[in-house]
Structure 1
Amino acid sequence: MLLSVGARGLSWSRRIRIRIRGAWGSPAPAPAPTRGARPGNSIPSAATLAFIAAIQLFSRRESEQENPEDEIILLIKKAKMSAMMGELEDADHYLHQALKLAQQSQNNQAVTYTFIQMANLAFLRGDLLNAEKLFKAAMSQLLQSGTSEDDNAMIEMSLKLCNIYVSTEQHSLAVEGYKWCIETLEEKVQREKDVPEVSISAAEKANTRLLLGMCLDSCARYMTSQKQLVLAESLYQQALAISQQVQGETHPQTIVLMNDLATVLDMTGHQDRAYEYATRASNLARETSHPDQCVILSNLARVLMHRGDYHEARCVYEEALTLAESSADKPIIQHIRNGMEELQAKAQQSQEVRESTH
């Protein structure tokens, strides 16, 4: 099975073994253990947006502990640091303290931001039911404060809800949510095209387009897992086009999307087109020292195997294995070795067929 490099951690972080670093930004299932590196994405997360607002609001010195706002921001910083260190229980404790203080002081911005942080933490801990409730609470708070439904922060949280629904096998809700996110963003992108930059900056417009790419990407992986491969191919094509236009051909995200599109094309039996995208992704991965180069090369090798190019497939597998061994990535090493065993069996079978026909 090919590895889809299209990965998606809740907040651009590493995921399960055969690790994934989130890229566009949100988690979704993939058809196989996945891995992808997508650093440098320019979409600010909903949490980041709220945190910036909170920082602006709480622009007083942390040392003034008698001020509830300063205490809230200090607790939130402690929670973020604890989460970064893997101390999730401590992070949860600090966030609950911050929420209580924000509610007592009737600081709605702080309440909203804390809900978002608690939701992200709940997802990280696998507490999906609680994460769902917290994301909905944060969205409700934002709407009450006057935030529009098509605000990027709202759509990003809606996308995270989609991925929760996928994880909890609430498929109708997931499909409905993906459709709403994509259609809402498509309308927003179209509407923003003719808006002068004095009203909406070029960076803001780019962020909206990248968020659309993230939604298309996430939905494509879900459709791949559901064997809706024709639709998945179309979604990947759109996501790739956005990444190429906004981030460039050599951006890690663009390379990952080329690989993911190759994966789907190979699954549908379009080996020539799969080879085209897999080759381009592999060449770019080599040129840019992509952090998931060994995975991308492994996928190219598999496409070559399906095309019957057994010798070239073995060479690429060996290159991928060398890279994986240099980083001591045991799950990827095992995956590559499994592919090499399958390649050897297919090559031997092909040789036996040729000999029997002579």
Structure 2
Amino acid sequence: MSRSVEEKRSACWVKVSRWESVSRNLQNTESGGGGGRRGGGRVLWVAVAFSLFGSSDEDQRDEAQRKEDEMILLLKKAKLSVYRGELQVASGFLHQAVVLAHQTRNNQAIIYTYSLMANLAYVQGQLDSAEKLFKAAMSFMLSGGTPQDDNAVIEMSLKLATIYAELNKAELAEHGFRFCMESLEAKLEKEEIPAEEQTEEEEALRKETRLLLGLCLDSRARYRASTLHLNQAQQDYESALNICRQEQGDTHPQTLVLMSDLATILDLRGRHDDALVLIQQAVNLSRSAGHPDQHVLLGNMAGILLHKGRLEDSVQFYQEALSLAQQARDQEAVNKIQEGLKEVENRRNQERKEQEQGAQK
């Protein structure tokens, strides 16, 4: 019996991919992580050095130092609040920090704090606020002399495109994704030099740019999947997976998530055999590598087995996935897996009815 795409979507889902933040100026703005990567101008959650002093007047220096210390303390408190899940409290600290950033006319601090506020608004589902805050941060970046094709600007543009996609503003979303893709592809073409002639810094920047291109492809693929443009979504996932394999390796957690996402798209397109081969590879690698989202991969494999009619195998993987999801306290995954188990039971009941009807004839 043929099944609709919507029916299949209830048993398999695309996991929101966990690419690391790749732009040099916005490192750690999403996760609040304390470890920076190499690159000039990096701003971290803690130990922030904003260079406020330009006057020789001792009183002004003391006042500036006081405000800098207060701003850093507020950012530390915001980080701790996010870690504790106290997002409203974190928002309050960030609003206080951005006031101090404006008072000291510190463009770097303003950009950084606005980007944190925007990310926080986004995870809280406050998309209109997130849009305005990202635009404000980008405005300060551009007015401060940051080039339009800087990776930090492109990453922020990608976040705006993702917001427009979630707000069903299709034209703005498509324009945003296109700007990001074209800008990154042009940069990579311009920076094309033999590997042996690249400096360490040039090599790191090129890798950063390629990872950001992979993130763009991944984000656009999820958008296209949500609008059921499955052929285009497949192409984007394949390109993103190729980049991730080259830059991160075959067993990197992001590589395995992309394999799972691509398998989901193949499954939705009715290519169940191809989907099963790919998801089986991802699951096997995830077992050996200890993937943090192994329950998601197992859940997707169970869904694909369900669509192939292998109900007993499907239940086995759903149950394993459910146990791991509960241990990870991933309630969204738990709900999806339970929906899949219900669908398995519905399929069993349907098959029993068909068998009974056939026997009566």
1:1-358 mapped onto 2 (5 Å cutoff) = 1-7=10-16, 23-24=18-19, 46=26, 48=28, 51-52=43-44, 55-58=48-51, 67=65, 68-194=67-193, 196-198=197-199, 200-327=201-328, 329=330, 331-347=332-348, 349-350=350-351, 356=358
Alpha-carbon shift at residue 182 of structure 1 (Å): 1.4
Alpha-carbon shift at residue 105 of structure 1 (Å): 2.5
- 1:176 aligned counterpart, secondary structure: helix
Alpha-carbon shift at residue 256 of structure 1 (Å): 0.5
Alpha-carbon shift at residue 271 of structure 1 (Å): 0.9
Specify the code of the residue in structure 2 equivalent to 1:95.
L
Asked if the contact 1:50–1:109 (Cα under 8 Å) also holds between the matched residues in 2, the reply is no
Specify the code of the residue in structure 2 equivalent to 1:7.
V
Relative to structure 1, the CA distance from residue 312 to residue 126 in structure 2 (aligned partners, 3 Å threshold; closer, same or farther) is closer
Specify the code of the residue in structure 2 equivalent to 1:245.
Q
Asked if the contact 2:11–2:336 (Cα under 8 Å) also holds between the matched residues in 1, the reply is no
Give the structure-2-normalised TM-score: 0.80
Larger radius of gyration between Structure 1 and Structure 2: 2
Relative to structure 1, the CA distance from residue 96 to residue 183 in structure 2 (aligned partners, 3 Å threshold; closer, same or farther) is same
Q: Which runs of 5+ in 1 are unaligned?
A: 9-22, 26-40
Asked if the contact 1:240–1:258 (Cα under 8 Å) also holds between the matched residues in 2, the reply is yes
Asked if the contact 2:11–2:343 (Cα under 8 Å) also holds between the matched residues in 1, the reply is no
Relative to structure 1, the CA distance from residue 141 to residue 322 in structure 2 (aligned partners, 3 Å threshold; closer, same or farther) is closer
Alpha-carbon shift at residue 45 of structure 1 (Å): 6.3
Asked if the contact 2:12–2:303 (Cα under 8 Å) also holds between the matched residues in 1, the reply is no
Q: Aligned pairs, how many?
A: 327
Asked if the contact 1:58–1:73 (Cα under 8 Å) also holds between the matched residues in 2, the reply is no
User: Could you tell me how far apart the structure 2 residues matched to 1:78 and 1:334 are?
Assistant: 33
Alpha-carbon shift at residue 137 of structure 1 (Å): 1.6
Alpha-carbon shift at residue 89 of structure 1 (Å): 3.6
Relative to structure 1, the CA distance from residue 58 to residue 304 in structure 2 (aligned partners, 3 Å threshold; closer, same or farther) is same
Alpha-carbon shift at residue 175 of structure 1 (Å): 1.1
Asked if the contact 2:71–2:101 (Cα under 8 Å) also holds between the matched residues in 1, the reply is yes
Moved more, 239-248 or 83-92: 83-92
Asked if the contact 1:210–1:242 (Cα under 8 Å) also holds between the matched residues in 2, the reply is yes
Q: How much identity, in percent, do the aligned residues show?
A: 43
Asked if the contact 1:216–1:238 (Cα under 8 Å) also holds between the matched residues in 2, the reply is yes
Moved more, 287-296 or 88-97: 88-97
| CA displacement 1:58-105 (0-9 Å, x = unmatched) | 499xxx665233333333333333333333343333333332332232
User: Could you tell me how far apart the structure 2 residues matched to 1:149 and 1:4 are?
Assistant: 35
RMSD (CA atoms): 3.0
Asked if the contact 1:3–1:295 (Cα under 8 Å) also holds between the matched residues in 2, the reply is no
- Please name the residue that 1:37 is paired with: none
Alpha-carbon shift at residue 270 of structure 1 (Å): 0.8
User: Could you tell me how far apart the structure 1 residues matched to 2:179 and 2:235 are?
Assistant: 17
Q: Which runs of 5+ in 2 are unaligned?
A: 1-9, 29-40, 54-61
